[in-house]
C-alpha cells in the first residue's frame, strides 16, 4: 500500500486508472466508436485529468508518448494480440521491469494473470520475476487478475470467469503471489465485491471497467466497489469511447475520490 | 538438523509448523468454516502461540504480514491454484530463495515435490537450485514430499499416494535430494511411520495435518508420529478451521514438545 | 523517429530500404531472373545509390561485405529458410543485437513478427529483448510486421494477411511493442494505407515491395504510400531482379524523396 | 586418467566403486534384503574398506554423511525415482558440479547418460555443462553409459541394452563426449568386454555390478573385466545386500587390485 | 577467409580436413573395415600428413589426444549418436566454443546444420551463439551444411538432400548465417558444384567425402570441386577405412594443393 501511495497509483487510498492497451489486446477496431482515441496524444492528454491516478499503457506508447503527459505511468508488462488463437490463455512479457523503470520511467507495473489456464504455471513463474524485480526497485505491481481457460470452463463448480467465487479466488491469488493491487471483473453486486475485498486482504482491489455501458449503471457499479471497500476503478473503453470523456472522468472522480453516490453525481 | 535448529523450525528436535497457504492452493472456500481465518492478521497472530515453531506461508503473506508476528517464517516457494487442471502435477516456483531470504527474512524455505508425476524431472531440476541456493545461505529446506500423478496411479504395486511404501519412498527422496525435513502424509499407523522415519535417516520427518478431523483422532496420530521418531507436525485446517484454535495448539504443544499422549492431554 | 533519422534509415522523414535477405528466406532461385544479383558485391554496390537510405541484410552478408558499401546497414536479426515447413510461422533469431551493433556496425536492426501465429507469444518475448537491447544502444528497430498463421487463417473476420484490417492491426502492434518503423504489406489503396499510418501513430510505416510487378503499377503504389503519410518503401526483388536496377532506384528516389507522382517520373 | 588417479577413483589403474544411490533410483525396497543397508551410516562405514576407491552417492547423502567416511566421494549428479514413468528415459540433474565440488567436497562426479532415448539430445546438452565445469575444476567425470529407450527398442539391429555392440557404442560415446570413465553393463564375455575397452580407448571402463548374483559367477565376470583391460567395478547391491559385505569386498579387492582369479579367491 | 587462413584450415586457399567423429555419429562399426582406425592415436598420427590442413574431432578426442598431433584442430561442437531416432533431425551441442578454444586449443570449430528439419529454428538459434562466440575469439566456423528432414522429404520441388538446388541453398544458408566455410555433399557434377560455390560467395566450400568409394571416382569428384572453385575436401571413411591411408592422402594433396587431375595422380 505504501508503494502504491508513493507511486501515486493510490491517492489517499483511492485509485482511478485510465487503461489504454486496447490497440494491442483488441486491435484498432476499439477506436472506431471515437476515432480520435486512435491517436495516443489524445488519450495521454485525457490522463492529465485530475481524477486519474495512473495511465496504464504498453511499452511502445510509454516510450513514444510518456513525455506528453503528467500522469503517473503504469507500464503493462505483458499482452498479446487478438489475432492469436492459442490452445489456452497465456500472455507473454513484452517489457522487462528494468526497462519499464529505468528507460520508461514507470511509476508502477502491471501484469495479466490467467490463473486456471493450462499455462498457469508458466505465468506464475513469469510473475515471480516481475514481482521480485519490481519490489526490489520499490515499484508496485498491479495484477490484472483474470482467471480463465480450460481449468475454469471444465470445472462444473464455477459458472465462468465472472463467478463471484472465481473473482474472490483471483483476488486471493494476487495477495498470495505478492501483488499490491488486483484488477478484477465486477462480481455483480456489493456483497460479492465485499467478499472479494476481504479475500484480497492487504492487496488493494480495483474493478475493471469492461466494455462500454450506460453511464448510470456504470457509476453505480463503481459506487458499490467503493462502498465494498474497493480502491476504485481501472477503465478504458467506458471513457475513451464516449463523446465527452472528460465528463465521465469528472463523475468518476466524484464517486471514487469524494465517495459520492451515482445518483448524486448524475 | 543443525540448520533446522538454528532456524527455529526445530526446537530441541521437535517441530510444529502452522501452515497457511490454503488461499492459494485450495482457494478462499477453505476459510468458510472459520471466516476470521480469511484475514491473515488472525493467523499470523495465532502463530505467536508458544508451541508453534514456524509459520509456513506464500511470498505475498510473508511480505505484507511478516512484521506482524514473532513466529519463524517458513516461506513456501512454489504453489498453484486449484483453478488449474494440468495434464499432470507440477508446482511452479513463485518465490526465489534469494528473495525469500533477503527481502522477506525467511528462516526456512519450503518446496512441494510431486515425485511420480510426469513432471518429476522438471521438479527435481527446480529443487536442485532451491536446495543449493538455500544451503549456501545457511537456510534449511523443507520438502512437501507428496508423490502423486500418473506414475503412481498407473502402477499396480501402489494403492495410491497414501500407500506406506509410497510415503517411505517420498521420505527417502527428500533425503537423497538434500532436503532437511520431509513433510509427509500420515501412513496410517505407528509402525508404518517408523519405517518412514528410518528411510528418511538424517532428514527430519513431520506429518502433514490434512483436512479437519476429530481432535482425539488427530492428536493420536500426532502422538504416534512422535513415538515413531518423527519430529512433529505441519498443520493448517486442523487448527485455523476450529472455533478454539489456541486450544488445539495447546494440546499439540503437549503432545509434540512434552511427548504426552493424546489421552493425557484431552 | 529521432533514432531513425540519426541512423540514416529515415532521411528528412523518408526511407528507401534495399532488402537483400532473399538468399536465406526464399533460396537462391530468387536470383535466377538476374544472375548477377546472386553476388552480394553487386547488391552492396547498388546500395550506394543516393536514393537508398539503408541496406537490409542478414548477419553473414553484413559481416563479409559490410565494408564494401557506404550504405547504412540495417541488420535483419531473425529469419528462416524456405526449406523448413513448421507447424506454424516462427522466425528464430540468427544475430544478437550486441553482435549486430558492436561487431557488424549495424545502424539499425530488423525483426520479423508473425502476430497471429501459434508462436506469437514466443516471438513477442524474443522481440522484447531485441527492442530493449537496441534502444539501450540508441539503435532503431524496424519490425517486419507480417501477421499470418493459424490465428489469421481460421478467423472468419479476416480475408487473410493482406486484409487492410489485419495490416492496420500489424502497424498498431509495432507501435505498442516499441518498434520505430513498421514494414507492412500494401493494403490495396490510399485510404487503407492512410488508416494503417494513423494506427501506427508515432511509428513510421514503410511498404514492403513484394514480388516483381510492372514498374508503373509499382511506382503508383509507392506514390500512394507517400500520399497516405507513409515514410517510403522496403524493396528487394522489384529492384535487383530488374535488368536496370539503377533506373528503378532513380524513379523510386523521385517518388519517395521528392514526392513526385508515378506519372511524372515515368 | 591423471584426473582419475589424482582423485583416487583409480588407484594404480584400478577402481572399485561402491555405489549407493538405490534409495533414489529403485526406492527403499532395495534395502529389504539387508535392512541395516537402509542406514547410510552403515554403508558409509563400509566404504572405508581398503579395496574401495570411491563411494558413489547422491547429493543428500554426500551432504549429510560425507564427514563420516574416509572414502573418496563420487557425487552422482543426476537421477530419478522409480515412481516416475516418463515417455522415454531422462535423468534430471539434481546437483550442480559447483555445489558437488565446493560444498560437498566431491573428488569426482557421475552422470547417467541414456543414449538412444528420445531425450538423448537434451542429455548430451546437460552433459556438456557437467563435463566442462568438472574439468575446469580438475575433477573427473564418470559416465553411467546406459543406452536405452525407443531408439534401442525399435532398432532391429540391436537385441537390447545388453547387446555387446550397444555397450561398445556406449563406451565410445563416453570417450567422444569427454568422460574419463565409462560405467557399462557387462557385455557377456571376455572378448566382448575387450572390444568395449578398445572402443573406449583412453576412457577407462568399469563394469556395473547389477542385481545380486552368486558370488562365484559375479567374481568371474569381474575377473574377465580385468583381463579384458577394464579398470574394475562399480557395485552396490552385490555388496550391501549380502550378509557379509566385507567378505565380498575383500574378494573384489583381490580380483581387482591384485589381479587374482575368482577361483584363487574363493 | 582471413580467419580460415590464419587458423590453417585453409592453406593458400585450399583445404583438406580429416574428419574423425564417426565413433559418435555412426558408432564403432565404422572402424570395422580397418580396425586400427578404432584407436584415435592412429588417426591423430595420420593427421600429421602434410596434405591435411585440419583434423575434425569431437571434444573427447581433442581433449585426450590433442597433444599427440601437430594438425590444426577443428573441434566439432555438436553431434548425436546413431542409437537415437528423433522425430526429426537435431544435433545437440556437446562442446561450448569457450571450452573448445580455451581448454582444447581449437583452431576452428564445426557445427552441423540440418536446415529443413522441424528443428531448424532451434538449430539456427544454437548456431547464432556458436558463430558469434567463435568470431569474437577470432576462430573460424565451419558449417556441416546438410539440409534434411521433413521439410525436404515432403517438398515435391526437391528430389532429396543431394538435389543440387538443395545443396546450393545449403551453401547460401552458410553464407547468410555467417559461417566461414560450408561442408556440403557433392551435387553430382562440376557445373552443379560451380553453382554451389557461387551461391556461397565469400563463404568457402568443401565437399564432404561420404562413404568409401573407388579411388579414381573419388579423386575425380575432388578434382571437379577444385575446378568449380571449391576449396577442397573434408574426408573420413575414404581415408581411414583404406589399407593405405597415406597413399590416398598423398593423392588428395596433389589434387587439392597442386591442382593436379585425378588421371595425373593415379
Calculate what percentage of chain C has a pLDDT beyond 90: 97
Q: How far is the alpha carbon of B79 from chain D, nearest alpha carbon, in Å?
A: 20
From chain D, the residues in CB contact with E31 under 8 A are 199
Residue C169, SS3?
helix
**Residue with grid cell 475520490, as numbered in its chain:** A257
pLDDT band (50, 70, 90) for residue D31:
very high
CA distance D204 to A204: 64
CA distance B138 to B132: 10
Do β-strands A54-58 and C232-235 pair in parallel, antiparallel, or remain unpaired? unpaired
SS3 of chain A: CHHHHHHCCCECCEEEEEECCHHHHCCHHHHCCCHHHHCHHHHHHHCCCCCCCEEEEEHHHHHHHHHHCCCCEEEECECCCCCCCCCCCCCCECCCHHHHHHHCCCCEEEEEECCCCCCHHHHHHHHHHHHHHHHHCCCCEEEEECCCCHHHHCCCCCCCCCCHHHHHHHHHHHHHHCCCEEEECCCCCHHHHHHHHHHHCCCEEEEECCCCCCHHHHHHHHHHHHHCCCCEEEECHHHHCCCCHHHHHHHHHHHHHCCCCHHHHC
**Residue D210 pLDDT greater than 90, yes or no:** no
Predicted confidence at residue E1, as pLDDT, reads 65
B63-94 pLDDT per residue, tens = 999 999 999 999 999 999 999 999 999 999 99
DSSP 8-state symbol, C93: B
Average pLDDT for consecutive 10-residue bins of chain E (266 residues)? 94 98 97 97 98 98 97 98 97 98 98 98 98 98 98 94 97 98 96 98 94 89 97 97 95 97 94
Catalytic residue among A59, A76, A183, A185: A183
CB of B232 within 8 Å of any CB in chain A? Answer: no
CB of B114 within 8 Å of any CB in chain D? Answer: no
Residue B130: partners with Cβ closer than 8 Å, 6 or more residues away: B77, B93, B97, B109, B111, B141
Contact check, Cβ <8 Å, A28/C131: no
Q: Give the distance from CA C190 to its chain's centroid.
A: 19
CA distance E41 to D198: 12
Chain A interface disruption, residue of C89, C121, C150, C167, most A CBs within 10 A = C121
> Which of E221, E216, E226, E137 is closest to E185 using CA atoms?
E221
Q: Give the distance from CA D105 to its chain's centroid.
A: 19
B189-242 pLDDT per residue, tens = 999 999 999 999 999 999 998 787 899 999 999 999 999 999 999 999 999 999
Given a contact cutoff of 8 angstroms between Cβ atoms, the answer to whether E181 and E113 are in contact is: no
Give the DSSP letter string of B158-226: --STT-HHHHHHHHHHHHHHT-SEEEE---SSHHHHHHHHHHHTTSEEEEE--S---HHHHHHHHHHHH
From chain D, the residues in CB contact with B132 under 8 A are 95-96, 99, 103
Query: Mean of the per-residue pLDDT values for chain B?
Result: 97
Q: Which three cell numbers stand for residue E133?
A: 562466440
Contact check, Cβ <8 Å, A27/C178: no
CA distance D114 to B132: 25
Catalytic residue among E183, E185, E212, E260: E183
A81-93 pLDDT per residue, tens = 999 999 999 999 9
Would you tell me how many other CB atoms lie within 10 Å of the CB of residue A224?
23
CA distance D115 to D146: 7
Q: How far is the alpha carbon of D110 from chain E, nearest alpha carbon, in Å?
A: 16
Q: Which three cell numbers stand for residue B225?
A: 508420529
**Residue with grid cell 462500454, as numbered in its chain:** A212
Chain A interface disruption, residue of B42, B84, B101, B105, most A CBs within 10 A = B84
CA atoms within 13 A on the CB side of A36: 12
Interface of D with B in 78-107 (CB under 8 A): 79-87, 90-96, 99, 103
Nearest to D81 among B115, B165, B175 (CB): B115
D212-224: b (≥16 Cβ within 10 Å) or e: beebeebbbbbbb
From chain D, the residues in CB contact with E64 under 8 A are 175, 178, 201-203
Residue D54, SS3?
strand
CA distance D13 to D15: 7
Nearest to B93 among A128, A135, A201 (CB): A128
Q: How far is the alpha carbon of A54 from chain C, nearest alpha carbon, in Å?
A: 18
> Which of C82, C74, C99, C89 is closest to C19 using CA atoms?
C74
Q: Which three cell numbers stand for residue D150?
A: 525407443
CA distance A41 to A155: 44
Predicted confidence at residue C1, as pLDDT, reads 66
pTM of the model: 0.97
CA distance E96 to E92: 11
CB contacts < 8 A (B, D) = 119
Q: Which three cell numbers stand for residue D7?
A: 582423485
C39-92 pLDDT per residue, tens = 999 999 999 999 999 999 999 999 999 999 999 999 999 999 999 999 999 999
> Which of A76, A70, A20 is closest to A50 using CA atoms?
A70
B28-38 pLDDT per residue, tens = 999 999 999 99
Parts of chain A with a pLDDT under 50: none
Q: What average pLDDT does this structure show over D194-214? A: 93
**Residue B248 pLDDT greater than 90, yes or no:** yes
DSSP 8-state symbol, E67: G
C183 has catalytic annotation: yes
What is the CA angle E14-E16-E17, rounded to 5?
Answer: 130
CA distance D39 to B201: 6
Q: How far is the alpha carbon of A25 from chain C, nearest alpha carbon, in Å?
A: 9
Q: Considering all CA atoms of chain B, what is the largest pairwise distance in Å, rounded to the nearest integer? A: 49
D79-105 pLDDT per residue, tens = 999 999 999 999 999 999 999 999 999
Predicted confidence at residue A211, as pLDDT, reads 80
Which residues sit opposite A110 in a β-bridge?
A76, A142
Q: How far is the alpha carbon of C191 from chain A, nearest alpha carbon, in Å?
A: 15
Given a contact cutoff of 8 angstroms between Cβ atoms, the answer to whether E182 and E145 are in contact is: yes
Nearest to D83 among B116, B131, B199 (CB): B116
Give the DSSP letter string of E203-225: SEEEEE--S---HHHHHHHHHHH
Predicted confidence at residue A1, as pLDDT, reads 65
CA distance C183 to C205: 6
- C135: closest chain A residue by CA: A103
**Residue with grid cell 583409480, as numbered in its chain:** D10
Distances (CA, A) of C141 to B212, C39, C90, C137, D173: 59, 27, 19, 11, 45
Contact check, Cβ <8 Å, B83/A121: no
Q: Considering all CA atoms of chain D, what is the largest pairwise distance in Å, rounded to the nearest integer? A: 49
Predicted confidence at residue E101, as pLDDT, reads 98
Contact check, Cβ <8 Å, C59/E147: no
Q: Is D147 buried (19+), middle (13-18) or exposed (0-12) by CB count in 10 A?
A: buried
Residue E92, SS3?
coil
Query: Mean of the per-residue pLDDT values for chain A?
Result: 97
Q: Check if the interface score ipTM surpasses 0.95.
A: yes
From chain D, the residues in CB contact with B175 under 8 A are 23, 40, 60-61, 64
Given a contact cutoff of 8 angstroms between Cβ atoms, the answer to whether A255 and A261 are in contact is: yes
Active site residues of B: 183
More confident site: D212 or E40: E40
pLDDT band (50, 70, 90) for residue C209:
confident
Q: What is the CA radius of gyration of chain B?
A: 17
> Which of B67, B204, C260 is closest to A202 using CA atoms?
B67
Phi, psi of C73 (to 5 degrees): -95, 125
Residue E9, SS3?
coil
Contact check, Cβ <8 Å, D128/E39: no
Distances (CA, A) of B172 to B9, D21, D58, D75, E10: 20, 11, 11, 17, 58
> Which of C120, C124, C176, C114 is closest to C148 using CA atoms?
C114
CA distance D81 to B146: 13
Catalytic residue among D59, D76, D183, D185: D183
- B113: closest chain D residue by CA: D81
- D126: closest chain E residue by CA: E94
Would you tell me how many other CB atoms lie within 10 Å of the CB of residue A243?
8
> Which of C129, C84, C85, C86 is closest to C111 using CA atoms?
C129
Q: Considering all CA atoms of chain E, what is the largest pairwise distance in Å, rounded to the nearest integer? A: 49
Contact check, Cβ <8 Å, A198/B40: no
Q: Which three cell numbers stand for residue C232?
A: 517510403
Amino acid at each position: 500500500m505504501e508503494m502504491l501511495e508513493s507511486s501515486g497509483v493510490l491517492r489517499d487510498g483511492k485509485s482511478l486508472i485510465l487503461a489504454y492497451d486496447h490497440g494491442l489486446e483488441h486491435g484498432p477496431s476499439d477506436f472506431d466508436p471515437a476515432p480520435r482515441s486512435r491517436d495516443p496524444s489524445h488519450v495521454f492528454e485525457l490522463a492529465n485529468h485530475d481524477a486519474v491516478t495512473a495511465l496504464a499503457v504498453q511499452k511502445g506508447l510509454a516510450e513514444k508518448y510518456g513525455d506528453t503527459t503528467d500522469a503517473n505511468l503504469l507500464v503493462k508488462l505483458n499482452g498479446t494480440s487478438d489475432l492469436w488463437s492459442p490452445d489456452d490463455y497465456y500472455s507473454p512479457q513484452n517489457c522487462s521491469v528494468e526497462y519499464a523503470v529505468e528507460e520508461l520511467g514507470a511509476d508502477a507495473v502491471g501484469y495479466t494473470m490467467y490463473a486456471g489456464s493450462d499455462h498457469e504455471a508458466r505465468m506464475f513463474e513469469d510473475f515471480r520475476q516481475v514481482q521480485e524485480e519490481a519490489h526490489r526497485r520499490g515499484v508496485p505491481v498491479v495484477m490484472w487478475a483474470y482467471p480463465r481457460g480450460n481449468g475454469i470452463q471444465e470445472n462444473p463448480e464455477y459458472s465462468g470467469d465472472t463467478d463471484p467465487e472465481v473473482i474472490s479466488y483471483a483476488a486471493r491469488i494476487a495477495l498470495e503471489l505478492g501483488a499490491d493491487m488486483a484488477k478484477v471483473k465486477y462480481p455483480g453486486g456489493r456483497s460479492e465485491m465485499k467478499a472479494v475485498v476481504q479475500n484480497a486482504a492487504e492487496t488493494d482491489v480495483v474493478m475493471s471497467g469492461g466494455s462500454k455501458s450506460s453511464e448510470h449503471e456504470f457509476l453505480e457499479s463503481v459506487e458499490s466497489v467503493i462502498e465494498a471497500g474497493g480502491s476504485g476503478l481501472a477503465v478504458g473503453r467506458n471513457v475513451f469511447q464516449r463523446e465527452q470523456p472528460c465528463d465521465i472522468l469528472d463523475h468518476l472522480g466524484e464517486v471514487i475520490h469524494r465517495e459520492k453516490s451515482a445518483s448524486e453525481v448524475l
